[in-house]
Amino acid sequence: MALPTHLHYTKEHEWIAVDGKIGTVGITDYAQSTLGDIVFVDLPKVGDSVTAHQTFGSVESVKAVSDLYSPVSGTVTAINADLATTPDKVNEDAYAAWMIKVEMANPSEQDALLTAAAYEAFIAEETGK
Amino acid sequence: MRYLPKSPAERAVMLERIGVRTADELFHVIPEEYRLKRDLKIPRQMGESEIIEYFRNAAAQNGSGYASFLGAGCYRHYRPVVIDSIVQRGEFLTSYTPYQAEITQGTLQAIFEFQTMICELTGMDVANASMYDGSTGASEAVLMAARITGRSHSVVAATVHPEYREVMATASQHRGLPSTTVGYDAETGRVNLDLLQAAITDDTACVLVQSPNFFGVVEDIPAIAAIAHAKGALLIVSIAEAVSLGVVRPPVEADIVSLEAQSFGVAMSYGGPFCGVIATKEKFIRQMPGRLAGQTQDADGNRGFVLTLATREQHIRREKATSNICTNQALVALMATVFLTVYGKDGLREVAVQNLAKAEFARTTLTAQSGAEALFGASPRFNEFVLVTEEPVAVMQARLLEQKILGGVDLSRWYPELGHATLWCATELNTRAQMEAAATTLAAREAVEA
Amino acid sequence: MASDTMIPVETTTPRNTTLGKVRTHPTQNEGLIFEKSSPGKRAVRLAPLDVPEVDAEALLGDAFRVDAAPLPEVSEIEIIRHFTRLSTWNYAIDLGMYPLGSCTMKYNPRVNEFVARLEGIAEAHPYQPESLAQGSLEVVRELEQCLIEITGMDAITLQPAAGAHGEFTGILLVRAYHESRGNARRKVIVPDSAHGTNPATAAICGYEVQNLKSNSLGMVDVAELERIVDEDTAALMLTNPSTIGVFESEIHKIAEVLHAKGALLYMDGANMNALVGKARPGDFGVDVMHLNLHKTFSTPHGGGGPGSGPVACKAILEPFLPTPVLARRSDGMLGWNHDRPQSVGRVRAFYGNYGMFVRALAYILANGPDGLRQTTEDAVLNANYIRSSLEDLYELPYTTASMHEVVFSDRRQAARGVKTGDIAKRIIDYGFHPFTVSFPMIVSGALMIEPTESESKEELDLFIDAMRAIAHEAEKTPELVKNAPHSTRVSRLDEATAARKPILRWRPTAG
């Protein structure tokens, strides 16, 4: 599956779409396929603050749990409440099943994130091991 | 060495395949100085008849033929014979935790039935597959409340089993979780609601009460719940005498119920193994410790059961787990499940009502003469009551023992303010003759003194 | 309603198909007990009340339960059939080899069950006067003495209810010890090969967990340990033999490194079945450890409990043991001592899982010193026999000498898409319980096999044949393995839906 080029990525396998000061965050297709059937997504509350490269929640498959890391710092303005009842949407389309929206405190942080090409190279390196 | 299924010749063939001469060589990876070169200093190997003789002697040393009025967190109820017939089936007895669902459907379905029965008894939405016992279960419930609320303080009624409170103190103190103990009303034996109200702060995660409490008195759960909830604290109700649920209203206002299921067909066995269980509201499932069996389907559409929501557990979360507890008490939970199936809807009610009647008769009979008085007489009780005597407890108990009667538990260790107080329990197994004999012995005090 | 039942005639069903040691046979279908309930059926009759009846509603007032809990209403024969049918859906040690690594699924002797049910033992109340509990207390005393001798330690508590509870108690002892010396310290070191309970326990006791990477032999990297141990280290939690079944040959150096900085060595006794009668942790530098009576000492696993997790320690930790401790009084009587000012406190009501003490002691008495040593030797012999018989087909990630268990990896089979979990499911078709899969985490695709001493050469050979057959299947017909099991009552269960939409209790169907 080709990586959407309008997104930025992290080495912890999150993506972010930036629109003005608002960043929309989810996990990548590679992450969901590695985790397998996702059964629960634990998200912060609206109004919580998140910090770049720090955990903001977790995602659970049947036999594993992985922390979610925020690509940027800021304040949570929305969460995808649908995921509470239909976590499988992350498996269906990881790039549609966003998790949180963040009002970014420091939009320049996105410059340090990976481009689609850089992330693709990173995955290739990871799986090549 | 009758448990070892190998002949010397077979061992020799196996050693040859491995390529060593003796089994001892396989231990040469242990540095020489740490290898034990002598026999362990333990009793010599015994024949089966000797083993049975050893334990028969131990049992005999315990004394037998006593009429017992002991309860206080460990209850003597009748255990239907089918319980041991079923739990001694090797397929239940010698099976492991049902991680391989395809070949452990029996254990899984039995756990699912157990969870269902506990929900129906307690009025909660979900119950786990069991915990170690009531004391550790209550302690885990407090930690669970702290996780849910993000608060750290707990308020505990002084009428919770003293040993449960000790276990909680051990668990809380090492995590820096403060706790306040709230006293009871001297008239009612129930938790003092004014003190309770005053003890709850903005950092109080939970209020923990026991009902029936340690004195056998049923607490006013709706009133306690209202006080706790008004300040955003959760209510945990610990139940040590599970048979009470046959006739006592379930604590439906609670957020978490911690039940000790020993009364459901589990031998007293000098205090264990027992069977704790945590039940709660649906919204708190993910903060609940312990294993859970869930219903699902197999690839062909058949109903089946699996352990589920396992990501809460220590083998996956490691240092982030909700609890470090690994085992449950599956076989003991099975005993409880069989017990509840044998008694059923009407039987559990009947046996619970018999307990009420026996305790009521014991109380009135023992207090019929001067020198003995029952406390908290106006409060609703189940099968226990506190007796205060003019006579010192040790003297009274010694006289009862001479008549082969085990009187109530001495309360002075935990509640010195009650004076010469003992906690008596009468179940369906206590006979009228035992109660009358105990009363006669109590009444004989003056005669002895005169 | 027999006429409603359609019995399809399967003329093509092959009869008596044998695979290794098994042949398929039908099991009974059985619904939930609630589905068999019908009002008025019953399985109990109480003795008539010999005291006056009471008005429960009047006595209890608002506390009266109006609606009885809707427990099932069934008769005794239905109960026996229900649970007997369920039992036949389980695999068990009594049916065959159960080689779950690190679980020590050994034979559970029946005399243990018999003596635990003797009336004077099973009906003892924890609060009966000590003068009438001397028999129960002598059993505690004897077991304590035996376990102290077996571990080479100085003192013990039997109070913890299971292994993880023992870990909790042991780390509390460590904490109390350091606190008594003025500083609780901050961190506990846990090797990456450890059981998940170890880091969970350390965290629950308020310690920061520091992970220690294993070296290329799968053992503790002593140089790395030396680098990270400091005055803030409370303890190292070590499993020895390790979770790959290997004895830490540098154990004395590990202990020295810790003790030099005032830290303690905690041993997880999960793998004591490799050591009993052959080596004693107390002799090789361990300060505190837990045992699992349900592993090493043959008390039944019972489908997941009850267990029992005694904690043995050196004399320096004795003052901190949970209260009460058993003591012999000046008059020769045994009794519980509650006056223990430095104790960490109580970890369980009463005295622990007493019924398990009885069983464990019966096991020790049945074996004696010679039997326990032979048991350990046989356990190690069996694991090495499996290793020698399978290492040409399954990858050995660590070639260090094995003790009571052997860990392979699925690397060769995974090349054909067959993972350890698939092999585990396929071995079910051959009539065995699977080994432990995917643990320890330091081995990718681990197959952790612990046969215990309870297996005969015949049973081991059948297991080896089955594992070899599966290795060939993985080459020739990988789909057969990947879709296993094929012979069980249920096929692979949908765990994802079970977790996404949990159904955790039965409810009556509407209408």
Instruction: Check which CATH number belongs to the domain holding B262 and give it.
Output: 3.40.640.10
Domain, as residue range, for B165: 81-339
Q: What is the DSSP string of C325-342?
A: EEEE-TTS-EEEE---TT
Residue pair C200/B323 in contact by the 8 Å Cβ criterion: yes
Average confidence score pLDDT of chain C: 94
Residue C448, in any domain of the structure: yes
Give all strands (DSSP E) within C225-282, no chain letters.
233-239, 264-268
pLDDT of residue C2: 42
Q: Is B402 on the interface with C (CB under 8 A)?
A: no
Q: Is residue B376 part of a domain?
A: yes
Q: Is residue B297 part of a domain?
A: yes
Question: What is the Cα–Cα distance from B23 to B10, expressed in whole angstroms?
Answer: 12
The dihedral over CA atoms of C62, C65, C67, C73, expressed in degrees to the nearest 10, equals -170
Concatenated DSSP letters of B342-369: HHHHHHHHHHHHHHHHHHHHHHHHHTSS
DSSP string, C41-87: --S--PPPPSS----HHHHHGGGB--SPP------HHHHHHHHHHHH
Domain final position from C343, C364, C385: C364
Q: How far apart are CA C398 and CA C415, in angstroms?
A: 19
As to burial, measured by CB atoms within 10 angstroms (0-12 exposed, 13-18 middle, 19+ buried), residue C95 is: middle
Q: Which residues of C touch A39 (CB under 8 A)?
A: 496, 499-500
| Best of C127, C165, C420 to mutate (most B CBs within 10 Å, chain B) | C127
Does C440 sit behind a cis peptide bond, omega within 30 degrees of 0 on the bond before it? yes
When pLDDT is averaged across residues B46-71 and rounded to a whole number, the result is 96
Q: What sign does the dihedral C116-B422-B63-B362 (CA atoms) show?
A: negative
Q: What is the rounded distance in angstroms from the CA atom of residue B288 to the CA atom of residue B311?
A: 12
B147 Cα to chain A: minimum distance (Å): 14
The stretch B63-80 carries a mean pLDDT of 96
Residue C420 Cα, gap to closest chain A Cα (Å):
15
Check residue B447 and give its pLDDT: 56
pLDDT score, position C440: 87
Q: Is residue C339 domain-shared with residue C425, that is, in the same domain?
A: no
- Give contacts of B 147-186 with C, CB under 8 A: 161, 163-164, 166-167, 169-170, 173-176
Query: Do residue B224 and residue B91 come from a single domain?
Result: yes
Mark whether C281 and C186 lie in a shared domain: yes
> Residue B315: pLDDT band by 50, 70, 90 thresholds?
low
**C311 and C395 within one domain:** no
Q: Domain for residue B27, yes or no?
A: no
Q: What percent of chain C has pLDDT over 90?
A: 89
- Residues B156 and B138: beta-carbon distance below 8 Å: no
Residues of A whose CB is below 8 A from B311: 39-40, 60-65
Amino acid at C335: G
* Chain B nearest C-alpha distance from C1 (Å): 23
User: Do C383 and C322 belong together in one domain?
Assistant: no
Task: Say if residue B74 is in the same domain as residue B98.
Answer: no
CATH class entry, domain A8-106: mainly beta
Residues B130 and B229 in one domain: yes
- Domain end call among C364, C396, C412: C364
Which chain A residue lies closest to B321 (C-alpha atoms)?
Answer: A65
CA distance B336 to B83: 8
Q: Which chain B residues are closer than 8 Å to A64 by Cβ?
A: 311, 316
Give C499's contacts in chain B (Cβ within 8 Å): 294, 308-309, 311
Query: Helix or strand or coil: residue A72?
Result: coil
**Predicted pLDDT at B448:** 52
Q: Report chain B residues whose CB lies below 8 A from the CB of C455.
A: 5
In this model, does residue C6 exceed pLDDT 80? no
Per-residue pLDDT tens over the stretch C428-460: 999 999 999 988 888 999 999 999 999 999 999
Place of tokens 């509470």: A84
Nearest to C500 among A36, A63, A87 (CB): A87
Residue B210: C-alpha distances to residues B193, B251, B259, B265 (Å): 14, 10, 10, 21
For residues C448 and C435, the answer to whether their CB atoms sit within 8 Å is yes
Q: pLDDT at position C511, please? A: 47
B248 and B358 housed in the same domain: no
CA distance to partner chain B, nearest, from residue A64 (Å): 6
State the pLDDT at residue B450: 43
* Of B323, B339, B355, the domain-final residue: B339
pLDDT of residue C485: 94
Say if residue C13's pLDDT is above 60.
Answer: no
φ, ψ for residue C122 (rounded to 5)? -70, -30
Quick one: tokens of C390? 């399978």
- Looking at residues B82-90, what average pLDDT do you find? 97
- Rounded to whole angstroms, the Cα distance separating B199 from B206 reads 11
* A69 DSSP β-pair partners: A55
Contact yes or no for C496 and A40 at CB 8 A = no
Residue A107, classed as helix, strand or coil, is: helix
**Do C320 and C452 belong to one domain?**
no
Q: Are both B325 and B359 inside the same structural domain?
A: no
DSSP per residue, C300-322: --TTT------EEE-GGGGGGSP
At what angle are helices B134-149 and B162-173 packed, to 10 degrees?
A: 50
Cα B288 from Cα C110, distance rounded (Å): 36
Among candidates B187, B194, B175, which has minimal Cα distance to B217? B187
Residue C172 lies in a domain: yes
For residues B329 and C67, the answer to whether their CB atoms sit within 8 Å is no
- Among the partner-chain residues A62, A87, A88, the one whose CB lies closest to the CB of C495 is A62
pLDDT (tens digit, 9 = 90+) per residue, C340-364? 999 999 999 999 999 999 999 999 9
Out of A39, A40, A65, name the one closest to residue B316 (CB).
Answer: A65
Q: Do C496 and A62 touch (CB under 8 A)?
A: yes
Is the model's pLDDT at B319 over the cut of 70? no
Answer whether residue B394 is part of any domain. Answer: yes
pLDDT per residue over B345-385, tens digit each?
999 999 999 999 999 999 999 999 788 999 999 999 999 99
> Which chains pack against C, by 3+ Cβ pairs within 8 A?
A, B
Please indicate, yes or no, if residue C434 is contained in any of the structural domains.
yes
With an 8 Å Cβ cutoff, is C499 touching chain A?
Answer: yes
User: Using CA atoms, how far apart are residues B308 and C428, in angstroms rounded to an integer?
Assistant: 21
pLDDT tens sequence across B406-426: 999 999 999 999 999 999 999
Output the domain CATH number for residue C354: 3.40.640.10
Q: Which domain holds residue C412?
A: 369-496
Q: How many CB atoms lie within 10 A of CB C15?
A: 6
Tell me whether residue B53 is in a domain: no
Q: List pLDDT tens digits, range B125-170.
A: 999 998 999 999 999 999 999 999 999 999 999 999 999 999 999 9
B-chain residues within 8 Å CB-CB of C366?
2-3, 45-46, 48, 51
- Give the start-to-end residue ranges of the domains of chain A: 8-106
Label the pairing between strands C22-23 and C18-19: antiparallel
Dmax over Cα atoms in chain C, in whole Å? 81
Q: Answer yes or no: do C214 and C308 share one domain.
A: yes
Q: Which residue in chain B has the smallest CA separation from C246?
A: B29
CA angle at B325 for the pair B323 and B326, rounded to the nearest 5°: 130
Is C362:C373 a contact under the CB 8 Å cutoff?
A: no
Q: Check pLDDT > 90 for residue C101.
A: yes
- Indicate whether B286 and B399 sit together in one domain: no
CA atoms within 13 A on the CB side of B329: 28
Tell whether B236 and B300 lie within a shared domain: yes
Q: Which of C441, C444, C494, C495 has the highest number of chain A CBs within 10 A, making it the mutation to test binding with A?
A: C495
Pairing of strands B256-260, B234-239: parallel
Query: Which amino acid, A98?
Result: W
- pTM equals 0.94
User: C14 pLDDT exceeds 60?
Assistant: no
Query: In this structure, what CATH number is given to the domain that contains residue B389?
Result: 3.90.1150.10
**Omega cis (within 30) before C306:** yes
C341, C373: one domain:
no
Nearest-CA distance A39 → chain C (Å): 5
The pLDDT value given to residue B175? 81
Q: Is C503 on the interface with A (CB under 8 A)?
A: no
Domain end residue (candidates: C364, C389, C424): C364
Q: Are B317 and A65 in contact (CB under 8 A)?
A: yes
User: How many C-beta atoms lie closer than 10 Å to residue C442's C-beta?
Assistant: 19
User: Which residue of B lies nearest to C356 if distances are taken between CA atoms?
Assistant: B273
User: Could you tell me if residue C11 is inside a domain?
Assistant: no
Smallest Cβ–Cβ distance between B58 and the set C136, C338, C388 belongs to: C136
In a domain, C354, yes or no: yes
Examine the domain organization and report whether B172 and B279 are in the same domain.
yes
Instruction: Say if residue C394 is in the same domain as residue C330.
Output: no
**B·C CB contacts under 8 A:** 681
Closest CA to B128 of B333, B338, B297: B333
The tokens 């945590």 sit on which residue?
B278
Cβ within 8 Å, pair C499-A88: no
**Computed from CA positions of residues C104, C105, C109, C112, in that sequence, does the dihedral angle turn out positive or negative?**
positive
Asked if residue B215 belongs to a domain, the reply is: yes
Contact (CB, 8 A) for C298 and C359:
yes
Residue from A31, C84, C500 nearest B82 by CA: C84
Taking 50 as the threshold, does the pLDDT of residue C375 lie above it?
yes
Chain A CB contacts of B310 under 8 Å are 62-63
B332 Cβ contact list (under 8 Å, min separation 6)? B130, B261, B266, B273, B274, B275, C302, C305, C306
Nearest to B210 by CA among B162, B243, B173, B247: B162
Q: Say yes or no: C448 and C462 in one domain.
A: yes
User: How does DSSP classify residue A8?
Assistant: E
How far is the C-alpha of A39 from the C-alpha of A55, rounded, in Å? Answer: 19
Q: Which residue of C has its CA nearest to A84?
A: C500
| CB-based contact C234:C186 (threshold 8 Å) | yes
C389, C278: one domain: no
Number of domains making up chain B: 2
Read off the pLDDT band of B174 (50, 70, 90): confident
pLDDT digits over C183-208, tens only?
989 999 999 988 888 998 998 888 99
Question: Do C300 and C426 belong to one domain?
Answer: no
Q: Does A90 touch chain C (CB under 8 A)?
A: no
Chain B: list its partners (3+ Cβ pairs within 8 Å).
Answer: A, C
Q: Which of B320, B339, B358 is the last residue of a domain?
A: B339
CA distances (Å), C328 to each of B179, C335, C336, in order? 35, 6, 9
Confidence of residue B236 (pLDDT cuts 50, 70, 90): very high
How many CA atoms lie within 13 Å of B45's alpha carbon, on the beta-carbon side?
Answer: 12
Q: How many structural domains is chain C composed of? A: 2
* Chain C touched by A92 (CB under 8 Å): no
Same domain, C357 and C381: no
Contact residues, B window 277-316, toward A, CB-based 8 Å cutoff: 286, 310-311, 316
CB contact residues (below 8 A), chain C span 314-333, against chain B: 322-323
B222 and B205 together in one domain: yes
Specify if C218 maps to a domain. yes
CB contact under 8 A, C496 and A88: yes
Give residue B51's pLDDT: 98
Provide, rounded to the nearest whole percent, the portion of chain C with pLDDT above 70: 96
Instruction: For residues B183 and B323, state if they share a domain.
Output: yes
Q: What angle do CA C474, C479, C481 make, to 5 degrees?
A: 55
* Same domain assignment for residues B365 and B259: no
Torsional sign, CA C433, C434, C435, C439: negative
The answer to whether residue C305 sits within a structural domain is yes
- B176 and B324, same domain (yes or no): yes
SS3 label, residue C393: coil
C358 interfaces chain B, CB cutoff of 8 Å: yes
State the 10-residue block means of pLDDT for chain A, 129 residues long: 87 93 94 89 93 91 85 95 92 95 91 92 78
